[in-house]
Amino acid sequence: MTMQQAGQLVCVGTGMRMAGQLTPISKSYIESFDVVIAAVPNIFTRQWLQEIAKQYVCLNDHYQDTKIDGKTRRDTYRRMADTILAEVRAGKRVCAAFYGHPGIFACISHMAIADARKEGFEAHMEPGISALDCLVADLGIDPGTRGMQSMEATQFMIYQRVIDPTAMFIVWQIGIAGDLTMKRFDTEQAHLQIITDKLANTYSLDHEVILYEAATHPLEQVRAEKIRLRDVPQAELKQFTTLVIPAEQDLKVDQQVMDQLKALERDRAIGYTSP
């Protein structure tokens, strides 16, 4: 059994819209822990964290590593996790803060927690409000109505995946679709044409899709731009743009299963009425 070490790690999410979507327990960790290490893109959120934290370390400059020959985003994420672990190993209570949910499209937190636990440190994650939570609220979509699939854009492109056109399909990070170098933070029309062509194997090119971007501060507007699938390659995209594809086909009843369920109900009814 590994002996518990002095340092401690908790990974929290700041939500998508500054401090307004921060849970009370996450806020308490930010205020009370020895050091807050953050990777958040919004400058106002960074300033707010710096004001309430006892000590603040920003990880954003680590992204510059991708400009070094031979370095990719994977190396950047590894260095970010190592920066977090260095403070934990020093015996500090470390709060690592990420925008949105700390476990959704945030491999840094997963790496840091796994490494900390392996070395005998207490480490856990607190849930946060993610882009998906904002998307459901902003677009008024209930995933329980028709079901939902969710994939990262490049992963969908390079692997053989099966799409269910009767459910909503969410394609994350469409703004960096097709990047195999792990160095870029944008995409090109040629890459977008490839993913559009692949989507056209399932959906008609005239199918209406939504380009979604959550608001990150009170003065910013939610982007919920409706376009045709065929127009995706020419669309203006950001790194954090999400492609939302509503269901195009109707749900089809599995009659065999329906018959089995009805038979069970009939058997149950007979059992209740039998003397």
CA-based end-to-end distance of the chain:
60
The secondary structure element, H or E, covering residue 110 is: helix 107-118
Tokens representing residue 78 in the block? 């590894």
**CA neighbours closer than 13 Å in the CB half-sphere of residue 172:** 12
Cβ atoms of 83 and 61 within 8 Å: the answer is no
Which residues are paired to 8 by β-bridges? 93, 122
Tokens representing residue 222 in the block? 């939610």
The residue annotated as part of the active site, out of 77, 93, 203, 212, is: 77
Rounded Cα distance between 122 and 116, Å, is 7
Rounded Cα distance between 163 and 42, Å, is 34
The secondary structure element, H or E, covering residue 97 is: strand 93-98
Tokens representing residue 209 in the block? 């899709």
Tokens representing residue 68 in the block? 């070094």
Which residues are paired to 36 by β-bridges? 56, 95
The residue annotated as part of the active site, out of 73, 93, 203, 212, is: 73
The residue annotated as part of the active site, out of 29, 99, 203, 212, is: 99
Active site residue 272: no
Backbone angles phi, psi at 43, to 5 degrees: -65, -35
Active site residue 63: no
Cβ atoms of 174 and 242 within 8 Å: the answer is yes
Rounded Cα distance between 4 and 2, Å, is 6
Active site residue 73: yes
Q: Hey, which residues are catalytic here?
A: 73, 77, 99
